[in-house]
Amino acid sequence: MVIILVYVDDLLITRNNINMITDLKGILNRNFKMKDLGELIYFLGIEVLRSQEGILLNQLKYAQELIQYAGLSETKVALTPLEQNQKLTTAEFDEVIQQHQEDTLIEDKTVYQRLIGRLIYLTHTRPDITFAVSHLTQFMQNPKQSHIEAAMKVVRYIKREPRLEIFLKAINKHQLVAYCDSDWASCPMSRRSVSGFYVQLRDSLISWKSKKQCTVSKSSAEVEYRSMTAVTSELVWVSGLFKELEISVTEPVRLFCDNKAALQIAANPVYHERTKHIEIDCHFVREKIQGLITTEYVSTIDQLADVMTKALGSQQHSHLISKLGLKKYCYTSNLRGSVERIIWG
């Protein structure tokens, strides 16, 4: 099998047979004017380093350019992306509740929009800022001074350690693990909840998401179950992708949730008035529990997806990020840019 990833005029080619790549390059060269850059080192702002232990992904150069673009090269660093318990609201909401503050609209909203756009791209290798960026995107239309200050704090947090990397370990046994969580009625304007999840291939982070739910839920169990439905959909897609790539994945997939009520709803086949409004979600999850997934309880302290649903204190934030394997790795490199040995991590 040979796989080609195409982005405009850039191509990545991988395979399980080196001869197929040689043949493919010959076919492409006969039909198009192309240049072979050799092994992948840098692609779309993402640096790729290899070793016998696995692959490292980072956006160090992009992060440094972002810090310089924001003009924060000489400022102090922040320990977390967002201030804990900070409630950001829109100007329209402030008028409705008649809250008069000195928090005025910024004159040029494109400054805020461009900064958030740059932060969005950085989330490709920085899941630790995903919730903060997702939260700040809802103020793109009419940003206030508090919003630009919060966005600048995200940049100051990046400045603390611009080279946080995702480590994809080289493994033989492919076992998927997922964590899902939610923050009930956290939006002060709409009282919608935030869902978040992580998907790992053994100890390697491969998928994550933070998003405000589309409907208002009347209980924390309901929002947790909707979050469980979202990660189950992702697991169905990831499992299908692996099968298409002829990669054997061990089933069932372990899905961790910290809400016992949601776990009981998933296990209990009896419907009642409290769950009939989420009946489709219940049927979907229970159908997958029969073969694809198995649900397990995890304590809130060790719930990795917690960092995707709310702003945490510096200690808990650092604890969860380290559990995800997102850290600065130390290694020695050869002249070609490949990693010879990972010293720790």
What 8-state DSSP symbol labels residue 202?
T
**What gap in Å lies between CA 143 and CA 112, rounded to an integer?**
7
The mean of the pLDDT values for the chain is: 86
Which of 92-106, 178-192, 216-230, 290-304 shows the lowest per-residue confidence on average (mean pLDDT)? 92-106
* Range list for CATH 3.30.420.10 in the chain: 173-323
Flag whether pLDDT at 330 surpasses 90.
Answer: no
**What pLDDT, on the 0 to 100 scale, is given for residue 100?**
58
**What gap in Å lies between CA 37 and CA 51, rounded to an integer?**
19
What 8-state DSSP symbol labels residue 124?
T
| pLDDT tier for residue 274 given thresholds of 50, 70 and 90 | low
pLDDT in tens, 197-255: 999 998 899 999 999 998 888 888 888 888 988 999 999 999 999 998 888 888 899 99
pLDDT in tens, 87-138: 888 888 777 666 656 778 899 999 999 999 999 999 999 999 999 999 999 9
Pairing assessment for the beta strands 204-212 and 194-201 based on DSSP bridges: antiparallel
Question: Structure pTM?
Answer: 0.87
Which of 6-15, 108-117, 150-159, 268-277 shows the lowest per-residue confidence on average (mean pLDDT)? 268-277
**What gap in Å lies between CA 218 and CA 104, rounded to an integer?**
33
Q: At the topology level of CATH, where does 173-323 sit? A: Nucleotidyltransferase; domain 5 (3.30.420)
